[in-house]
Structure 1
Amino acid sequence: MKIRIGIEALGVAVPRRYVDIEDLARARGIDPAKYTQGLGAREMAVAEPGEDTVALAATAARRALEGIDRDSLGMLVVGTETGVDHSKAVASFVHGLLDLPPTMRVYDAQHACYGGTAGLMAAVEWIAAGSGKSALVICSDIARYGVATAGEPTQGAGAIAMVVSANPSILELDVGISGAYSAHVHDFWRPLGHREAQVDGHYSVQCYLDALAGAYRGWKERAIARELVRGDGLVSERLARICYHVPFCKMARKAHVALRRCDLDGDDTGADASFREQVEPSLGLCARVGNVYTGSLYFALAGLLDDQAASLVGQRIGLFSYGSGCTSEFFSGVVAPRAAERIAAARVGEILAARARISVDEYERIMALVAPFDDTSAPGTFRFTGVTEHRRQYTSA
């Protein structure tokens, strides 16, 4: 009997404020086209101290669990590279804030932007092994490079939570069919004690593309061997859509050109048209939030399905996850019949519309803050309120 495992439900959370990317460009004396066209950005989420990794994760999880029996859960994994404690997991905070069952496996997964996928794959394998339970996998991060730095326009923040189960109402994963690629590189890192990450930008792009080529080859070999796709012609075109890890939206185009070259022995003929059909529909949400590190791939997936789920039912999509340092994975899944209904329940558009646009001056003031500056929470959200006796405190509305 075929194992059916995948994403049953999801929820997203983003900070309450954002800065328009054109406003940021003008404030820095830069042609806005460099950010809008060169990076593919529109808006950048701005997280103030009260909207930390835990608060965003718990808010996304609360939304994902609407209508889900919490006693059905047996695992909680948070993928993050912006944790709040050197020992206590973000997942531990979330477990307590949501009052989840004590009989759960609870932990964080860290490997740069790949951590969420590590959690997803662990959950899939755990369910396939016969756990009899569902898993809650959360990707939550705050991407910060600092004011007026080269990486400033590629910042962002947010969280996405996914209920992974044997009832995949959104996306049924092709279990056991994926390709992985890893290498020891210093393309992006954040030393202990540093708020901002260090990045070798051009080198990181090349590391990403090398990893994509290696991971895609592995997936392609397995997919052909299992007769998931035909081996003749462009195998990548057997995928209706492809979602990539999106540190900035233009990276997805670079990735797609490189992927076609893998199929065409170095030729990228037809890349523009293919990108518009297979990839561009997944970038709308990412362009309005910015980099969410572990969540970037899954924000692309959520954005794609929010826009096109009804027309993609029964079709296979590819997903590529990359974590600097580096490790990566290419995998795939089929859009489920109830995907449009379930993604509508996530209210992605409503959540974005509730945000407030702020000025660049306001953004800079927020970036300089260490402690939360107000104690209010939007309905249904969690908030970090401060530290008492070395213990982080949270509240919810």
Structure 2
Amino acid sequence: MKAGIDKIGFYAPHLYVDMTKLAESRNVDPDKFTIGIGQEKMAVPPMTQDAVTLAANAAVDILEDSDKEAIDFVIFGTETGVDSSKSAAVYVHELLGLNPYARAIEVKQACYGATAGIQMAKAHIAMNPDSKVLVLGSDIARYGLSTPGEATQGAGAVALLISADPRVMALEDESVYFTADIMDFWRPVYSDKAFADGKLSNEQYMAFFSRVWEQYKVKTGLALSDFAAICYHLPYTKLGYKALKTVLEEGTEEVQERLLASYNVSTGYNRNVGNIYTGSLYLSLLSLLEQTDKLVAGDRIGMFSYGSGAVGEFFTGILQSNYQDYLNIDRHTELFASRSEISVPEYEAIFEETLPTDGSTVKLDVEIDPARICLAGIADDKRQYVNKVKSVSY
């Protein structure tokens, strides 16, 4: 039985800041941001969007009533959850009106969380082939204004519907994963901003890719020539390119050209959103699938997932017949086209806004946010969410 990705949804906030203008305001050569790290725009979340709402908005457009009834497991990968006890998956489960006879959990391991969720989903589908699993990767990357990591911030979510007989991509069984205790990136419970050793993190990303790739070849007998494309977790788009370059010499000139062309296409969405942590790899995959006509059914796509701290995995998927028919290209094109640019001062003001932590009540204006699902405020230490179409709030 095949199991894999049946549908993919994506959402990013409606606001963004231009990276060239951000560089100029920081007295940095714009080429350092746009070429050096490979970013063009950074999604900026308003107060009405958090990890829960981003995930719910990513999923809401791809789920039909039959999906909602069949989903009996919701797995939410995030490193910017909203509660230390209650899973973000439970909130999304209610906001989307899913089958109540379902499991709902949150998974955490830095940017690896959604990949862990997908592997759990595969096992669940193997035992329950008539069910479906909703896997969510949703995050808001925050490092602080004028910090070294500021240019790699971002916000957004990817939703993946995992099922038997998937219509987009069947996930192959063989994968290689590796874990080591490394302090390259972390966020203590008392901080709303991440800490990072950028140089170490880049080095470990490259080292982990080398380890899992070499072991994958031994385990499977496959070679670089067996891949139509390789997608990467992209904290910033130049990092995946550096990793790909380390293996290109294993292929012929034709293979190298194919993989480089596919890689460039796969970075399109990430370049215009920024780092979305757990969803980053799958945004890269989505960008590739929705923006190229070079792929065909039967093509093998490699995927490298990395979560600082650190866990890495290399796994693969096979594209299915007519997979393009099950993508949401028009919706995602509209999403990007409808975003609004804000100035650097406006971005800084939004960044400095925070929700109360003293138990006080706050009500947010959800009408200025075009998103269907929003955070409406806090009352009695409880987040208040609203689905504007469903007309359900709690």
Q: Would the TM-score normalized by the shorter structure come out above 0.5?
A: yes
Q: Aligned in 2, Cα 1:271/1:7: closer, same or farther, shift over 3 Å?
A: closer
Structure 1, unaligned runs of 5 or more: 230-234
Cα distance in 2 for residues equivalent to 1:9 and 1:269: 34
Conservation of the 8 A alpha-carbon contact between 1:143 and 1:291: yes
Q: Aligned in 2, Cα 1:106/1:373: closer, same or farther, shift over 3 Å?
A: closer
Aligned counterpart for 1:90 among listed residues 85, 88, 101? 88
Give, in angstroms, the shift of residue 186 of structure 1.
Answer: 0.3
Give, in angstroms, the shift of residue 378 of structure 1.
Answer: 4.9
Give secondary structure in 2 for the equivalent of 1:220: helix
1:374 aligns with 2:365: yes
Conservation of the 8 A alpha-carbon contact between 2:77 and 2:108: yes
Give secondary structure in 2 for the equivalent of 1:376: helix
Give, in angstroms, the shift of residue 374 of structure 1.
Answer: 2.8
Identify the residue that residue 139 of structure 2 maps to in structure 1: 141
Cα distance in 1 for residues equivalent to 2:40 and 2:254: 26
1:291-306 aligned within 5 A? 291-306=275-290
Conservation of the 8 A alpha-carbon contact between 2:364 and 2:375: no
Cα distance in 2 for residues equivalent to 1:110 and 1:346: 32
Identify the residue that residue 232 of structure 1 maps to in structure 2: none
Aligned counterpart for 2:216 among listed residues 210, 215, 219? 219
Conservation of the 8 A alpha-carbon contact between 1:73 and 1:133: yes
Aligned counterpart for 2:270 among listed residues 263, 280, 286? 286
Query: TM-score normalised to the size of structure 2?
Result: 0.92
Q: Aligned in 2, Cα 1:270/1:199: closer, same or farther, shift over 3 Å?
A: farther
> Which is worse superposed, 126-135 or 163-172?
126-135
Conservation of the 8 A alpha-carbon contact between 2:228 and 2:258: no
Cα distance in 2 for residues equivalent to 1:25 and 1:191: 28
Identify the residue that residue 111 of structure 1 maps to in structure 2: 109
> Which is worse superposed, 215-224 or 319-328?
215-224
Identify the residue that residue 61 of structure 1 maps to in structure 2: 59
1:161-240 aligned within 5 A? 161-174=159-172, 176-224=173-221, 229=222, 235-240=223-228
- Identity over the aligned pairs, expressed in percent? 38
> Which is worse superposed, 279-288 or 368-377?
368-377
Q: Aligned in 2, Cα 1:172/1:310: closer, same or farther, shift over 3 Å?
A: farther
Cα distance in 2 for residues equivalent to 1:216 and 1:163: 27
1:217 partner amino acid: E
Give secondary structure in 2 for the equivalent of 1:312: coil
1:386 aligns with 2:377: yes
Q: Aligned in 2, Cα 1:310/1:279: closer, same or farther, shift over 3 Å?
A: closer
User: Cα deviations across residues 114-158 of structure 1 (Å, max 9, x unaligned)?
Assistant: 000000000011111335311000100000111111111100000
Give, in angstroms, the shift of residue 99 of structure 1.
Answer: 1.9
Cα distance in 2 for residues equivalent to 1:348 and 1:304: 13
Conservation of the 8 A alpha-carbon contact between 1:12 and 1:348: yes
Give, in angstroms, the shift of residue 277 of structure 1.
Answer: 2.3
Identify the residue that residue 316 of structure 2 maps to in structure 1: 332
Aligned residues: 381
Conservation of the 8 A alpha-carbon contact between 1:114 and 1:323: yes
Identify the residue that residue 51 of structure 1 maps to in structure 2: 49
1:257 partner amino acid: K
Conservation of the 8 A alpha-carbon contact between 1:243 and 1:297: yes
Cα distance in 1 for residues equivalent to 2:201 and 2:255: 22
Give secondary structure in 2 for the equivalent of 1:255: helix
Q: Aligned in 2, Cα 1:270/1:186: closer, same or farther, shift over 3 Å?
A: farther
Aligned counterpart for 1:255 among listed residues 226, 243, 250? 243
Identify the residue that residue 348 of structure 2 maps to in structure 1: 364
Give secondary structure in 1 for the equivalent of 2:135: strand
Aligned counterpart for 2:260 among listed residues 276, 288, 293? 276
Give secondary structure in 1 for the equivalent of 2:366: coil
Cα distance in 1 for residues equivalent to 2:210 and 2:330: 33
Conservation of the 8 A alpha-carbon contact between 1:82 and 1:141: yes
1:214 partner amino acid: R
Structure 2, unaligned runs of 5 or more: 356-362, 389-394
Give, in angstroms, the shift of residue 192 of structure 1.
Answer: 0.9
Identify the residue that residue 9 of structure 2 maps to in structure 1: 11
